[in-house]
């Protein structure tokens, strides 16, 4: 037995030098980075003896922080005590932005890939995978006659869905201009938030449907026949009305394929930034369809295609929505968000019309930290 294992290990080490066989240990060394200490400070480490300067940059510091080189060639930096949160960061080595080779956990945001880490003990506990019942996350393809396309969709079904005979309510959860059907999963920690809120008894078990709001794309970058291309934020389909016009295809697919309550009282729609605008227009254009609306840092901007039917007579449509009634119209935005003036103008309009809404103003700006908070506050209000 010893001999076989020795050969096994030596072989693996030799071949790892050539990266020809799939047993690469490089980058593993003995280095742990990031290391989260019991007091919630975090030490970052990078083994880079030949590099002149290394800094760390992330959403837990306002600028960059210089790392310090040890005699062993390992650069380190230890953060201040950090609040419980899901964080992202990169290193900058001799001016080059790089990922932490000792941290395999990464997320993509548009055309950038960042490392992530998570600090528990507070809000971040909602973003963790905890030992609670877990829902199922499926990537499916649905037919959109409105867009003449088969499109990818990400669907969370709550724990117990498969074994149950019950019908469930549905939350349609939309991303921003940089996102796709994966954004709420990767950056929004949506499946963890749902599992945890349901386990805590704070949210009703519900289905969460995550669409792709770039209607020119069939799927997230790399997941369609467009192959591996460099993602861009401003696709030609942005704010052109197609998302709103074709949204009925999504509802129809969900209601034909899942055990759901098919009525207004059991449909919610929410979205961040561009998805907030989608939420506003979709709920106004399908006026008796949703009892719950969530506009998270909504990008209430003039459409690129203002003559699209869905964009016409918004005031008249909002009036109809108001008269038909709804349970919750929830608007959240950060004080430092560059879209806050647009949101304030929209709130003025609603106030003048007498259209009721719940307003949540948080600290911070146009960030996933806020969108995770908004979703974890909004979801418990649904279907109660």
CB of 330 to a second copy, least distance (A): 20
Going 297 to 301 to 303 to 306, the CA torsion angle's sign is positive
Minimum CB distance to a second copy smaller for 291 or for 337? 337
Compute the distance between CA of residue 310 and CA of residue 243 in angstroms, rounded to an integer. Answer: 10
CB of 56 to a second copy, least distance (A): 11
Minimum CB distance to a second copy smaller for 201 or for 227? 227
Minimum CB distance to a second copy smaller for 117 or for 330? 117
CB of 288 to a second copy, least distance (A): 29
CB of 180 to a second copy, least distance (A): 12
The pair of structure tokens assigned to 137 is 């996350």
Compute the distance between CA of residue 379 and CA of residue 119 in angstroms, rounded to an integer. Answer: 22
Compute the distance between CA of residue 44 and CA of residue 101 in angstroms, rounded to an integer. Answer: 11
Q: Which three-class secondary structure state does DSSP give residue 89?
A: strand
Compute the distance between CA of residue 49 and CA of residue 210 in angstroms, rounded to an integer. Answer: 44
Minimum CB distance to a second copy smaller for 154 or for 285? 154
CB of 99 to a second copy, least distance (A): 6
CA 245 to chain centre: 23
CB of 239 to a second copy, least distance (A): 10
The pair of structure tokens assigned to 284 is 């106004």
CB of 94 to a second copy, least distance (A): 4
Minimum CB distance to a second copy smaller for 113 or for 358? 113
Question: Taking Cα atoms as reference points, which of 38, 36, 40, 16 lies closest to residue 28?
Answer: 16
Residue 165 CB-density burial (10 A; 0-12 exposed, 13-18 middle, 19+ buried):
exposed
User: Which contacts of 137-142 are long-range, i.e. CB under 8 A and separated by 24 or more positions?
Assistant: 137/185, 137/191, 139/181, 139/223, 142/249, 142/250, 142/253, 142/257
CB of 138 to a second copy, least distance (A): 4
The DSSP code sequence of 17-65 is TTT-SS---TTTSS---SEE-TTS-EEEEEE-TT-S-EEEEETTSSSEE
Task: State the DSSP code for 168.
Answer: B
Minimum CB distance to a second copy smaller for 174 or for 382? 174
Minimum CB distance to a second copy smaller for 230 or for 352? 230
CB of 80 to a second copy, least distance (A): 16
| Start-to-end CA span in the chain (Å) | 61
Q: Tokens 């399908």 correspond to what residue?
A: 286
* In the chain, beta strands by DSSP E: 35-36, 42-47, 54-58, 64-66, 68-69, 74-78, 85-93, 96-98, 106-109, 112-119, 136-144, 149-157, 170-174, 207-210, 267-272, 292-296, 328-334, 358-362
Minimum CB distance to a second copy smaller for 116 or for 293? 116
Q: Which three-class secondary structure state does DSSP give residue 228?
A: coil
Residues facing 154 on adjacent strands: 139, 210
Minimum CB distance to a second copy smaller for 233 or for 355? 233
CB of 43 to a second copy, least distance (A): 14
Minimum CB distance to a second copy smaller for 136 or for 309? 136
């Amino acid at each position: 037995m010893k001999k076989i294992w020795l050969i096994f290990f030596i072989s693996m080490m030799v071949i790892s030098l050539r990266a020809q066989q799939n047993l690469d240990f490089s980058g593993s060394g003995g280095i742990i980075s990031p290391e989260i200490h019991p007091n919630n400070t975090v030490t970052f480490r990078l083994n880079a003896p030949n590099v002149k300067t290394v800094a760390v940059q992330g959403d837990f510091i306002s600028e960059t922080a210089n790392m310090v080189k040890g005699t062993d060639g390992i650069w380190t930096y230890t953060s201040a005590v950090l609040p419980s949160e899901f964080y992202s960061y990169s290193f900058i080595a001799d001016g080059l932005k790089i990922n932490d080779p000792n941290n395999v956990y990464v997320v993509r945001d548009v055309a950038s890939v960042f490392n992530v880490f998570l600090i528990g003990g507070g809000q971040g506990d909602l973003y963790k995978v905890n030992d609670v019942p877990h829902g199922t996350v499926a990537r499916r393809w649905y037919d959109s006659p409105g867009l003449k396309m088969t499109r990818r969709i990400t669907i969370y079904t709550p724990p117990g869905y498969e074994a149950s005979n019950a019908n469930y309510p549905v939350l349609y959860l939309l991303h921003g201009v940089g996102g796709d059907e994966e954004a709420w999963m990767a950056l929004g920690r949506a499946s963890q938030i749902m599992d945890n809120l349901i386990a805590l008894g704070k949210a009703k078990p519900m289905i969460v449907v995550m669409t792709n709001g770039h209607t020119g794309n069939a799927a997230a970058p790399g997941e369609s026949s467009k192959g591996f291309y460099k993602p861009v934020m401003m696709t030609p389909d942005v704010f052109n009305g197609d998302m709103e016009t074709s949204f009925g295809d999504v509802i129809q697919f969900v209601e034909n394929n899942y055990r759901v309550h098919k009525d207004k009282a059991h449909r919610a729609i929410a979205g961040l930034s561009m998805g907030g605008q989608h939420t506003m227009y979709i709920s106004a254009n399908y006026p008796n369809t949703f009892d719950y609306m969530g506009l998270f840092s909504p990008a209430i901007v003039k459409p690129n295609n203002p003559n699209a039917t869905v964009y016409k007579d918004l005031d008249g449509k909002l009036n109809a929505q108001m008269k038909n009634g709804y349970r919750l119209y929830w608007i959240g935005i950060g004080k430092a968000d560059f879209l806050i003036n647009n949101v304030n103008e929209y709130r003025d309009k609603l106030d003048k019309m007498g259209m009721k809404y719940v307003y949540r103003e948080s600290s911070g700006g146009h960030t996933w930290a806020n969108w995770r908070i908004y979703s974890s506050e909004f979801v418990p209000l649904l279907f109660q």
